[in-house]
Structure 1
Amino acid sequence: MITFVNRFEVHGSVEEFERAFDATSAFFTARPGFLGHRMLRHADQPGRYVNIADWESREHFEQALAHPEFGPHAKALRALAGSDPNVYTLVLERTAPQ
């Protein structure tokens, strides 16, 4: 499993960005190997977001990025926000006891 983390700094309308990201989310949800994601908005700076997505493998993630239908999504997001995308692998995970 890999985790994709992408920080966004919105320079356009946050409402438009959220709509564009929702469409991108629907695109990724339909791709093989997608496990799930969370989009977080900064509590004090509403134009800052972090997307955290889990994929079965880096290959699945890269195949989704290479899909011809991804280009328009990337273009729409770039028109509204700058981003800092990175891929991570799990080193440690701990949850609260039940």
Structure 2
Amino acid sequence: MILELASLHIVPGREAGFEAAFAQACRIIAGAPGYLSHQLQRCVEEPGRYLLLVNWRTLEDHTLGFRQVPEHDEWKRLLHPFYQRPPAVEHYAMVASSGGPDDGIAI
């Protein structure tokens, strides 16, 4: 499993619009092959900053699968107008976890 971490900076005052657009965009990412789960987290100290955490089966499911399907254009159309700057995206592989047997598998 691969965790995609995308740091999102939203244009000030457009947070509510972004969250509404993200609610629509969820169906797009959730239908992508290799998608497992996601979370959208809003920063408490800086309300215009968000983290998008997506669990993918493989790195290629995100980089070659989701990013190259026609539906990705709709994802960008819905969300990119809200970005103050391009998202910073990184991918992580789990090294260790704590908790129950499902900890670290679904977020």
Q: TM-score, normalized by length of structure 2? A: 0.80
Letter in 2 for 1:88: Y
Q: TM-score, normalized by length of structure 1? A: 0.87
CA RMSD of aligned residues (A): 1.5
- The runs of 4+ residues in structure 1 deviating greater than 3 Å are none
For 1:36, the equivalent position in structure 2 comes to 37
The CA deviation at 1:76 is: 3.3
| The structure with more strand, counted as a fraction of residues | 1
Segment drifting more, 75-84 vs 8-17: 75-84
Number of residue pairs aligned between Structure 1 and Structure 2? 96
The CA deviation at 1:75 is: 3.6
Contact 1:20 1:73 in 2 (8 A): no
For 1:73, the equivalent position in structure 2 comes to 75
For 2:8, the equivalent position in structure 1 comes to 8
For 1:89, the equivalent position in structure 2 comes to 93
Segment drifting more, 83-92 vs 48-57: 83-92
Segments of structure 2 that go 5 or more residues without pairing to the other structure are 101-107
Q: What is the distance in 2 between the residues matched to 1:49 and 1:19?
A: 14
The CA deviation at 1:72 is: 2.7
Secondary structure in 1 matching 2:54: strand
Segments of structure 1 that go 5 or more residues without pairing to the other structure are none
Report the identity percentage: 23
For 2:66, the equivalent position in structure 1 comes to 64
